[in-house]
Amino acid sequence: MLDRIGLVVHPRRELGRALATLHAWAAHHGVDVVQVPTPGLERRVAPEGDAAGCDLVIALGGDGTALAALHAAATAGRPVLGVACGSLGALTAITADRLEDALAQVAAGDWLPRRLPALVVERDGAEAMALNDLVLVRAGAGQVMVEVELDGERFVRFAGDGLIAGTPLGSTAYTLAAGGPMLAPGATGLVLTPLAPHGGVCPPLVTTPLNRVAITLDPGHSGARMEIDGQVRAELERLRPVTFALRLRDDFATLVSLDDQEPLVAGLRHRRIIIDSPRVLARDDRRAKDAARSG
């Protein structure tokens, strides 16, 4: 049963069809629609309302919009339905043309909660939460120095562009693009991936939820940035090393999953984020041509 729906919307994408469907469905079923205030997303499509007063938060846009909605809804313990208005991503369960059916499913309780962990980043007594990743990256031309400690023991020190610390969800995002490993669905832990390390042997590291992880960053003469889920959170002072303690927090946010939703790995292949090697594809083409000739 839904009494109030909260919206988080992409600032620029075409949302007319999705919004018309949503407002028509809500009016027919007597459901209020409000917009949940989200930093950086200033587009207004509904009266403002708090996520805590909603039964469901809907993200209209892509994965970035869904991440913003998940952060807004997590503190209130509300689930998020991701609706792709454009390309289908890892966090969007449906496309806009299926929104009416999805609303009916959720209202009937015919959905599954997909619980997402968060990366807790502690620095100088303050905490921040990342659903995808923490990125520590150089801000200028010079390299930064990074030290990784695991359970109080040094793992590696390196100079380079920085480091990505990704959650299982984030392992299919920036971490994967930077050459880090992807965690299979259901796996837990952190993935630490060096960015352009200069020499040495600095392999990506996969930790368990029980490991204690500390990252010390020396920004050097050019400074560095701290980014969380793609948003700049802090400019780090030059020549002032800073240490971050990292851990996983289970069940931080809830994403709506529907029975007919495309599985994660299938979605990555469908969007060509994961692609077979050219030699394998060429062999498939030859076999298909041979089969066509013989048939």
Q: Return the active site residues.
A: 63
Q: What residues pair up with 149 in beta bridges, in sequence order?
A: 154, 214
Residues 130, 230: Cα–Cα separation, whole Å: 10
**Nearest alpha carbon to residue 103 among 27, 47, 52, 45:** 27
Residues 113, 122: Cα–Cα separation, whole Å: 28
CA distances from 281 to 278, 286, 295 (A): 5, 9, 21
- Within 91-143, where are the H helices? 99-107
CA distances from 71 to 51, 99, 223 (A): 10, 22, 28
CB distance 57 to 51 below 8 Å: yes
Element (H, E) at 276: none
CB distance 137 to 161 below 8 Å: yes
Element (H, E) at 180: none
